[in-house]
């Protein structure tokens, strides 16, 4: 792990920035390849993630692994984290004050890793990264350029576990993600010529 990430995580290992610190077993920072061009951002740790201290290790995590495999990628090829680093009790939705408290940590993570593409999984992650509320049915699978990286919104794997139509959309989005990555997407920070590729 880079010194910058180590230092960031050390600073937050006993975080009490919101009330979730009282009930969570672990602060689940993130896991994977910090040199990757792609960072996935989910919503929050669930039961298994809270126990193990790693993101996406339950059923939704297995689906994510399968979706990555379907486009020739492994978990080791990406870095994955969540909007919230501590589990909301009963897996309830994140509260606005929890998101506000935890958002600086997420943004610092992304800043340090400096990916080309941030894949948001689910509406909470899309809202936090894009800074606005938009229906997932309208925005999924379509890259959006921000100042630092491309954002690729898609559904949260947990939403697809028991919904066939969402699963189909998620599978199609992963195919579109592969096409985007295979197109040699430039680093937005270094290359301000993305429009010339006709991506938007
Ligand atoms: S969810 Fe984020 S802000 Fe809240 S206690 Fe955990 S690390 Fe701190």
Q: Whose CA is nearest to atom 7 of ligand 1?
A: 85
pLDDT(200) > 70 = no
pLDDT(198) > 60 = no
pLDDT tier for residue 196 given thresholds of 50, 70 and 90 = very low
Closest to 76 measured CA to CA, from 31, 28, 9? 31
Mutate to test the pocket of ligand 1, among 11, 84, 100, 103 (most ligand atoms within 8 A of CB): 84
pLDDT(197) > 60 = no
Mean pLDDT of the chain: 92
> What is the structure's pLDDT at 184?
81
> What is the structure's pLDDT at 191?
56
Contacts 24+ apart (CB under 8 A), 184-189: 185/116, 185/117, 185/150, 186/116, 187/37, 187/114, 187/116, 187/149, 188/116, 188/145, 188/146, 188/147, 188/148, 188/149, 188/150, 189/114, 189/148, 189/149
Q: Are 86 and 19 in contact (CB under 8 A)?
A: no
d(CA 143, CA 200): 7
Average pLDDT in the 156-179 region? 96
For residue 16, report the distance from its CA to the centre of ligand 1, in Å: 6
Q: What is the pLDDT of residues 42-97, one digit of tens each?
A: 999 999 999 999 999 999 999 999 999 999 999 999 999 999 999 999 999 999 99
pLDDT(189) > 70 = no
pLDDT tier for residue 185 given thresholds of 50, 70 and 90 = confident
Number of H helices, E strands in the chain: 8, 6
Give the pTM: 0.92
Q: What is the pLDDT of residues 73-88, one digit of tens each?
A: 999 999 999 999 999 9
Q: What is the pLDDT of residues 6-32, one digit of tens each?
A: 999 999 999 999 999 999 999 999 999
**Residue 85 beta carbon below 6 angstroms from any ligand 1 atom:** yes
> What is the structure's pLDDT at 127?
96
Domains and CATH numbers, the chain: 28-182 (3.40.470.10)
> What is the structure's pLDDT at 194?
42
Atom number, ligand 1, closest to the C-alpha of residue 21: 5
């Amino acid at each position: 792990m880079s010194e910058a990430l180590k230092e960031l995580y050390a600073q937050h290992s006993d975080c009490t920035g919101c009330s979730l610190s009282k009930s969570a077993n672990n602060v689940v920072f993130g896991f994977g390849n910090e040199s990757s061009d792609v960072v996935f951002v989910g919503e929050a740790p669930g039961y298994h993630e809270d126990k193990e201290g790693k993101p996406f290790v339950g059923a939704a995590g297995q689906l994510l692994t399968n979706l990555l495999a379907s486009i020739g990628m492994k978990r080791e090829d990406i870095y994955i984290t969540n909007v919230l680093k501590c589990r909301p009790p009963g897996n309830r939705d994140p509260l606005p004050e929890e998101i506000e408290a935890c958002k600086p940590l997420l943004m610092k993570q992304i800043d340090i890793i400096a990916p080309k593409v941030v894949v948001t999984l689910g509406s909470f992650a899309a809202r936090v990264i894009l800074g606005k509320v938009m229906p997932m049915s309208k925005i999924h699978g379509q890259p959006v350029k921000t100042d630092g990286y491309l954002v690729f919104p898609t559904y949260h794997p947990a939403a697809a576990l028991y919904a066939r139509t969402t699963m189909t959309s998620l599978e199609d989005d992963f195919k579109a993600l592969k096409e985007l990555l295979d197109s040699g997407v430039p680093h937005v920070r270094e290359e301000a010529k993305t429009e010339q590729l006709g991506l938007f």
